[in-house]
């Protein structure tokens, strides 16, 4: 039988807990004070917004509002696993000051994804425009180049390029200072999904599109701190299910967090995204050896002025769990598709012209 802890052991645990609480007390009180000050500023800004601008902002409050209002312009992940179904992979996300004030906002981002037997190049262009303080609409257009070496084990290299699946975007911001946003994305089947090489139908990861309408719903929340910004959120995505070729894309869900530090015009940021799929993708009825759980850390740095912003970043996903069955009568087994997945490097430019 397990031995019960002695009286001395119990006391030692109590003393250790008290010491830990004493050590954490200054940090806890400081954090609570900062959050309370932030909430007071939020309530003040809400009252000022409802007063039709008749009350002048104090200098400190005005600085914070100006800084935060720019942050709300560029939350969307361009070329990430969310909005663009075929717009690339990776989790490089804009969270810096961005650009505002023009007739519309344009974010153009190039992603290079390194594969074991080739690479993907994706150029996404996103146009968005504010309808009012809460509503924003836009469109995302990806152009894709996919190259694969030694096709089908032969000394032959192939490439597939062209327009991917275009996405229509709609965002609603809410909260006392619009610090929370809900974005819906609808993917249109504009990319080729039935390309062939010498009458051989390419597998679905080599295609430019999915062949079905897709959808993504993303919820973001920004926490403005004195030192920078924190963005947390989650998304769920429907990748069209099965198309007429028997290719199946599983739905997915993801949660993430990003933190950026203000260094004048520079904003270095770190992020972490956790993504899960209920079952593997299938290519013409056969399960593909793809991870069902992904953990994707990312690092980026943004530089911005009032009229232009530039982002450079990298994301290296890790596959945590994978299931594949090669025979319907055999049990599903854990495969070797876990580990480091294809990494992505990104370069983006944001402008707000006119």
Average pLDDT for consecutive 10-residue bins of the chain (354 residues)? 52 57 62 68 58 40 38 36 35 78 88 93 94 94 95 89 96 91 96 93 94 95 90 95 95 95 93 94 90 94 91 94 56 57 94 87
pLDDT of residue 125: 94
pLDDT of residue 66: 40
Geometric angle at alpha carbon 343, from 283 and 96, rounded to 5°? 120
Q: How many CA atoms lie within 13 A of 72 on its CB side?
A: 25
Check if the beta carbon of residue 304 is closer than 8 Å to that of residue 74. no
Domain covering 66-351: architecture: Beta Barrel (2.40)
Q: Residue 173 phi/psi, 5° resolution?
A: -100, 140
Alpha helices in 111-270 (DSSP H): none
Geometric angle at alpha carbon 82, from 81 and 83, rounded to 5°? 120
| CA-based torsion, 262, 264, 270, 271: positive or negative | positive
Report in angstroms the alpha-carbon separations of 128 from 67, 131, 268, 294, 351: 20, 10, 24, 29, 11
pLDDT of residue 5: 54
| CA-based torsion, 312, 137, 140, 80: positive or negative | positive
Rounded distance between C-alpha atoms, residue 217 and residue 189, angstroms = 18
pLDDT of residue 89: 38
pLDDT of residue 23: 58
The domain limits of the chain are: 7-56, 66-351
pLDDT of residue 56: 40
Report in angstroms the alpha-carbon separations of 326 from 243, 249, 259: 21, 18, 42
Q: Which residues of 115-136 are buried (b: 16+ CB within 10 A; e: fewer)?
A: beebebebbbebebebeeeeeb
What pTM value is reported for the model? 0.75
């Amino acid at each position: 039988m397990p031995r019960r802890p002695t009286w001395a052991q119990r006391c030692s645990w109590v003393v250790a807990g008290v010491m830990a609480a004493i050590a954490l007390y200054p940090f806890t009180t400081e954090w609570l004070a900062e959050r309370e000050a932030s909430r007071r500023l939020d309530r003040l800004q809400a009252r000022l917004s409802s007063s039709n601008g008749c009350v002048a902002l104090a200098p400190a409050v005005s600085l914070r509002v100006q800084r935060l209002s720019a942050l709300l312009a560029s939350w969307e992940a361009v070329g990430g696993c969310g909005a663009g179904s075929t717009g690339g992979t990776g989790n490089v996300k804009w969270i810096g000051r961005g650009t505002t004030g023009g007739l519309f906002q344009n974010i153009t981002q190039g992603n290079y994804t390194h594969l074991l037997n080739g690479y993907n190049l994706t150029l996404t262009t996103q146009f968005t425009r504010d309808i009012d303080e809460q509503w924003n609409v836009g469109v995302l257009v990806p152009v894709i180049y996919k190259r694969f070496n030694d096709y089908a084990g032969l000394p032959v290299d192939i490439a597939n390029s062209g327009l991917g699946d275009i996405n229509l975007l709609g965002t609603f911001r809410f909260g006392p200072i619009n610090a929370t946003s809900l974005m819906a994305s609808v993917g249109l089947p504009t990319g080729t999904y039935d390309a062939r090489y010498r009458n051989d139908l390419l597998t679905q990861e080599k295609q430019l599109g999915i062949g079905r309408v897709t959808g993504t719903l993303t919820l973001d929340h920004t926490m403005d701190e004195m030192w920078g910004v924190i963005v947390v959120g989650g998304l769920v995505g429907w990748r069209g299910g099965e198309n007429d070729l028997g290719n199946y894309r599983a739905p997915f869900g993801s949660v993430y967090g990003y933190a950026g530090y203000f260094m004048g015009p520079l904003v270095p940021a770190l992020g972490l995204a956790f993504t899960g799929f209920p079952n593997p993708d299938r290519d013409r009825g056969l399960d593909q050896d793809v991870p069902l759980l992904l953990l994707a850390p990312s690092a980026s740095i943004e530089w911005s002025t009032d009229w232009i912003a530039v982002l450079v970043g990298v994301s290296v996903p890790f596959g945590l769990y994978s299931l594949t069955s090669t025979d319907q009568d055999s049990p599903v087994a854990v495969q070797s598709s876990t580990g480091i997945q294809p990494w992505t490097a990104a370069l983006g430019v944001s402008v707000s012209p006119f």
